[in-house]
Amino acid sequence: MRGADVTPLLLAEVERETDGESLAANLALLERNAGVAADIAIAARDVLEERIELGGVRMVQ
């Protein structure tokens, strides 16, 4: 066992050893991270728009 197959195997083993608690945590953090990423994407867009308004960004086609 090596390379790309290692990680899925180890994670499945962690899940067995924790009686599924790791799976619940995994699902929760995935959803949480998606929400945080969305907030960051909004903040990044707002920063870009502020820069455009200030004339600090030149849009290049």
What residue ranges bind other proteins (CB under 8 A)?
A: 2, 4, 6-8, 10-12, 14, 22-23, 25-27, 29-45, 47-49
* Helices and strands per DSSP (H, E), number in the chain: 2, 0
Query: Please, what is the end-to-end C-alpha distance for the chain in angstroms?
Result: 48
C-alpha angle 51-48-43 in degrees, rounded to nearest 5: 125
Give the nearest distance from C-beta 46 to other proteins in angstroms: 9
Between residues 2 and 58, which has the closer beta carbon with respect to other proteins?
Answer: 2
Nearer to other proteins, 4 or 54 (CB): 4
